[in-house]
């Protein structure tokens, strides 16, 4: 386990790097050059995703040579598989909400989670366009721009504001599953939002703006940083089937309360089994 001084230092460096990454996003915004696709025509990667990841990996390597890194772009292009050990590991999504970034829809962020012994101990999510910096260290609470944040205790599923996403696949089986799940919750809750960034969706629950979010197909870099921000704000993360969260499992429920999370898990009719990270 890391000492509390170490965590404070890692957080300080992580925040500095996230702010720099944010500047890179802002200066590239709207240029939209060199957009590639991954799993489908709706799963995008830009040159800025790659540049931000290379920058973060380079700086982390210089500052903490014994630490490991896992990042969306190097894992997706096959140059570095997700090797997750007990060593301090920085799990990074350089731009979470790349589709939004490409369209200049401001709901996008850089997301950083650090694990030790395969447990998330630090989370930093920075949205430069919304000017929101979410942070959490294990056992120390969650913050937005330095101000403590807390979930909203929503009493009943009927009163819950949910978040769901379409995800990046466009395969038939996927599309059917997404709509079946959406239909199962849409008419028994207050409503459903779809904003396009897993990390920010989860931080919005941590801040008390929404009550629960689920998605299949996420990766560890989508879940790592934001999950500790939510739990430190009093919320819960769990597997869609109701067990403990496994950030390599591609399945994610985030909620302000355990009871809404459980009801969501019990209600979803389709639980996709996907290849692990
Ligand atoms: C995506 C976003 C989106 C979610 C996708 C993710 P990316 O991350 O979090 O909200 O629906 O499943 O892949 O690709 O923009 O980093």
Query: What pLDDT, in 10s, does the model give residues 163-184?
Result: 999 998 899 999 999 999 999 9
Q: pLDDT tens, 7-31?
A: 999 999 999 999 999 999 999 999 8
Q: Is the CB of 53 under 6 A from ligand 1?
A: no
Q: Is there an atom of ligand 1 within 6 Å of 164 CB?
A: no
Catalytic residues: 72, 93, 95-96, 98, 222
Quote the CA–CA distance of 103 and 148 in Å, as a whole number.
31
CA distance 52 to 94: 6
Query: How many separate helices (H) and strands (E) can be counted in the chain?
Result: 8, 14
Q: Which residue has the tokens 């366009």?
A: 129
Record the pTM: 0.96
C-alpha 150 – ligand 1 centre gap (Å): 24
Q: Does the pLDDT of residue 77 top 80, yes or no?
A: no
Instruction: Work out which ligand 1 atom sits closest to the CA atom of 165.
Output: 11
- CB-ligand 1 contact for 93 (6 Å cutoff): yes
What's the pLDDT tens digit per position in 192-202? 999 999 999 99
Asked if 19 and 126 touch (Cβ cutoff 8 Å), the reply is yes
Verify whether ligand 1 is closer than 6 Å to residue 211 (CB atom). Answer: no
Q: For residue 218, which atom of ligand 1 is closest to its CA?
A: 12
């Amino acid at each position: 386990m890391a000492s509390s001084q170490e965590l404070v230092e890692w957080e300080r460096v992580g925040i500095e790097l996230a702010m720099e990454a944010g500047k890179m996003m802002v200066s590239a915004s709207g240029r939209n050059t060199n957009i590639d696709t991954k799993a489908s025509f709706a799963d995008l990667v830009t040159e800025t995703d790659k540049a931000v990841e290379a920058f973060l990996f380079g700086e982390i390597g210089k500052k903490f040579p014994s630490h490991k890194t896992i990042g969306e772009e190097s894992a997706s292009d096959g140059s570095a598989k997700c090797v997750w050990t007990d060593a301090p590991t920085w799990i990074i999504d350089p731009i979470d909400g790349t589709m939004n970034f490409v369209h200049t829809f401001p709901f996008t962020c850089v997301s950083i989670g650090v694990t030790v012994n395969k447990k998330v101990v630090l989370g930093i999510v920075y949205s430069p366009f919304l000017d929101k910096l979410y942070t959490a260290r294990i056992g120390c609470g969650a913050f937005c721009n330095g101000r403590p944040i807390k979930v909203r205790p929503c009493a009943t599923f009927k009163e819950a504001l949910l978040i769901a996403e379409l995800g990046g696949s466009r395969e038939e089986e996927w599309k059917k599953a997404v709509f079946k799940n959406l239909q199962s919750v849409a008419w028994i809750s207050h409503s459903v939002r779809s904003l396009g960034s897993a990390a920010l969706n989860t931080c919005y629950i941590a801040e008390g703006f929404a009550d629960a979010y689920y998605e299949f197909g996420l990766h560890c870099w989508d879940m790592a940083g934001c999950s500790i921000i939510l739990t430190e704000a009093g919320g819960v993360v769990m597997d869609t089937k109701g067990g403990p969260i496994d950030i390599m499992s591609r399945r994610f429920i985030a909620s302000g309360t355990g009871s809404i999370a459980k009801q969501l898990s019990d209600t979803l009719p389709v639980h996709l089994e996907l290849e692990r990270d």
